[in-house]
A and B are shown apart, each in its own frame.
Chain A
Amino acid sequence: MNLPMLWIIPALPLAAVALNMLFGDRLGKKGTAFLACGAVGLAFAFAVRAVLTLAGRSEEERQIVETAWTWFRVGDFSVDVSFLLDPLSAIMVLVVTGVGFLIHVYSTGYMAEDPSFRRFFLYLNLFMFAMLTLVLADNYLLMFVGWEGVGLCSYLLIGFWYEKQSATDAGKKAFIVNRIGDFGFLLGVMFLIAWTGSVNFERVFASAPHLFTAGGSIITIATLLMFLGATGKSAQIPLYVWLPDAMEGPTPVSALIHAATMVTAGVYMVVRSHVLFEMAPVTLEVIAIVGAATALMAATIGLVQNDIKRVLAYSTVSQLGYMFFACGVGAFGAGIFHVMTHAFFKALLFLGAGSVIYGMHHEQDMRKMGGLATKMPVTHATMLIATIAIAGIPPFAGFWSKDEILAKAFATGHYGIFAAGLLGAVMTAFYMFRLYVLTFQGKARFDESGGHAHAHAHAADAHGAHAHDAHGHAAAHDDHGHDHGHGGPVKESPWNMTVPLSVLAVLSVIGGWVGIGKPFIEGESWMGRWLEPVLGSGPHVHHLAVSTEFGLMGLSVAIAAFGIFMAFRAYLQQPSIATAMHERFGGVHRALYNKYWVDEFYDAIAVNPIYQASMRLWRFWDEKVVDGTVNGVGYFLEGVSALLRLFQTGYVGTYALFIALGVLALFLHFLRS
């Protein structure tokens, strides 16, 4: 049989988890690494094979469904464990296994000296299993298995260095915030079940148009709930708060989970359910606004962060915002396109940052870096490519996808959102090149002979003055107590880290070319045609004039170039500009640096009140009122019996008297009647 064997793709990493668990202690580090990478590599190979099979079919037949077993069946409702490969999941599965494999390889270098090496790969493989289940699932419930599974792995990996309070706090926060989203997702799915009787994608989408009135309240509520799930997973307002904290995890984890794969699950889910979302214009409007707002807000925060990973984290939140507003304006294909290119360059950025952190012996503060270009040539080159890609300079990958999103927003008449997107783009270019300049250019702001960097880079560090932050950097570091060679000179990372960097760099350049469409070629882009069986040609084909298209492109390039220019100017050539800006806008800066105090706000309005209320519920209501009532009944009976026992004198005479009185009473009673 020439079956594509979809189930084997998630099964491989799971098998690796099982083997690692059972025999990991006998395998040693090399064996563990080989097992973990091998499983994911093999999964990638199978994925490629399956996708090739898919591509070999005619457009109408591009859908492979494999049912493994019936998960559960209750009454008229049943759920299968079944997998679906169509052009949409094909892109996701290739990205997940491909980028995942590279990150696995990279991790063998990055984590080489960690004593919990084996546990790390165990979690990482488990994550691959969950993520692949998520993208390959054929129904919402199986997708939910992956959905929660990646949340779990995220929890475990963020808290990987479990002895660190901040890390476990961050992990817990990620899981709980995600759960709030999952609450929405689950309820949304229940709406679907209640109306369509199924969770199977095909059946839900086929019957939805007949069962829901387009624009009606039911479908709007259902999709909004599902979008709540997406905001949790994909770190959008209001549930984005966990992602920046998630940087507590090892850097490869940030690259894999919190940049390339898991956080895009929300986008994937929305695109997957585009049939439903298209029926709910209100929801789409909400998505567009939330996406644009998130993109802008995260970008502003990213402008002033000093921790290299935090900048990237906010950048990720911002880019995810782009993907969502793409979906919101109906450009689902563009959203997925950006998911893909973003996976390449953001994974690369994180891995590059990891390489820098590794080279700097676990220093994450950009103010203590600088001038690394010559010391880490490969890291520098690849990071530069990724930075250009995210800034949106053609022909790098990020340009094509971001431009398509902006063009679609413009074409559908969402001018406000388009403007927000442009504003976000200029900030993206600025903060990314700020990161680049602070890290790689200028003079080294650390002790070159080795040892820890000393912290006084006055020039670049205009913002450092405000180190009054509660979230001190010391806590944010990747340090795990058993640093390798604390004090060696800064040098390039080993091959198993640089090779994945290089591969991703190539992808960051060429990865966007599949999406080149008008005005460069006739008709739809290759990407658009590939996704057509899933997304349809869409009702949103707005034809912009060629001149407009070129105009928009020119505008976004110009804007990106402006951002880059400003970054170089403010952080390399004339550091005084940054200082001056900061002094001029001290209040704004403080707001940005403290991330608009959103965490504090949530603590004040939700976390603390709930805690206090629970405490009171327990101490007062449960112990005093409810249990008090129970014990009160007891005390009452005790009181009554205390009265009654007064009659029990213990003297025989008293008892005899009572008996006599009783006899007398009976006697009188009978006499009377």
Chain B
Amino acid sequence: MIPTEWVLALSAVLFTIGVVGVLVRRNALVIFMSIELMLNAANLAFVAFARQQQSLDGQIFVFFVMTVAAAEVAVGLAIIVNLFRLRETVFVDEINLLKG
């Protein structure tokens, strides 16, 4: 059996990739995908722990996260589509409406 540590390490790597992706990429869609990556890294950790603990709780949480992620994708993509319609761009460093 694969030790839990290995799975967690994979999860951490995935999560870090997600974080770096969010921080360094300019394309909103890619950032979005990076976020998904982070979420799934968390899911992986959940599953790993669930198996280790022999408990279903973690798996249930994964379902929650997936649901939320799906909703998020729907809303997020809608925003991005609208943004593209308005601004003709999906690069986040060209959009600073919230600048103080």
A residues with a Cβ closer than 8 A to B are: 644-653, 656-657, 660
Asked if A652 meets B92 with Cβ closer than 8 Å, knowing A657-B23, A660-B19, A660-B23, the reply is: yes
- Tell me the bound Cα distance from A650 to B94 in angstroms: 10
A651 engages B23 (CB within 8 Å)? no
Residues of B within 8 A of A660 (CB): 19, 22-23
Pairs A-B, 3 closest by C-beta atoms: A650-B96, A645-B100, A650-B99
Number of interface residues of B (CB under 8 A): 15
- Tell me the bound Cα distance from A73 to B39 in angstroms: 80
A653 engages B23 (CB within 8 Å)? yes
- Tell me the bound Cα distance from A648 to B97 in angstroms: 10
Contact with A along B37-81 (1 / 0, CB 8 A): 000000000000000000000000000000000000000000000
Whether a CB of chain A sits under 8 angstroms from the CB of B88 is no
A649 engages B23 (CB within 8 Å)? no
Count A-B contacts at CB 8 Å.
Answer: 36
Within the complex, the shortest CB–CB distance from B7 to chain A, in Å, comes to: 20
A650 engages B22 (CB within 8 Å)? no
Residues of B within 8 A of A647 (CB): 100
Asked if A651 meets B100 with Cβ closer than 8 Å, knowing A656-B23, A660-B19, the reply is: no
Residues of A within 8 A of B98 (CB): 648, 650
Closest to A644 in B: B100
Checking B93, B99, B100 against A653 with a beta-carbon cut-off of 8 angstroms, the contacting residue is B93
Checking B19, B22, B96 against A651 with a beta-carbon cut-off of 8 angstroms, the contacting residue is B96
A–B Cβ pairs within 8 angstroms, 17 of them: A645-B100, A646-B100, A648-B98, A649-B96, A650-B95, A650-B96, A650-B97, A650-B100, A651-B93, A651-B95, A653-B23, A653-B24, A653-B26, A656-B22, A656-B31, A657-B23, A660-B19
Residues of A within 8 A of B24 (CB): 653
Chain B contacts with A in 1-55, Cβ cutoff 8 A: 19, 22-24, 26, 28, 31
Closest to B96 in A: A650
- Tell me the bound Cα distance from A5 to B96 in angstroms: 89
Interface centre among B26, B97, B98 (most CB of A within 10 A): B98
A648 engages B23 (CB within 8 Å)? no
Closest to A656 in B: B22
- Tell me the bound Cα distance from A644 to B22 in angstroms: 24
Residues of A within 8 A of B100 (CB): 644-648, 650
Known: A645-B100, A653-B26. 4 other contacts (CB 8 A): A649-B96, A649-B99, A650-B96, A660-B19
Within the complex, the shortest CB–CB distance from B37 to chain A, in Å, comes to: 14
- Tell me the bound Cα distance from A429 to B89 in angstroms: 107
Closest to B26 in A: A653
- Tell me the bound Cα distance from A657 to B24 in angstroms: 9
Within the complex, the shortest CB–CB distance from A220 to chain B, in Å, comes to: 71
B96 engages A653 (CB within 8 Å)? no
Residues of A within 8 A of B92 (CB): 651-653
Within the complex, the shortest CB–CB distance from A663 to chain B, in Å, comes to: 8
Closest to B35 in A: A656
- Tell me the bound Cα distance from A656 to B31 in angstroms: 10
B99 engages A652 (CB within 8 Å)? no
- Tell me the bound Cα distance from A660 to B38 in angstroms: 12
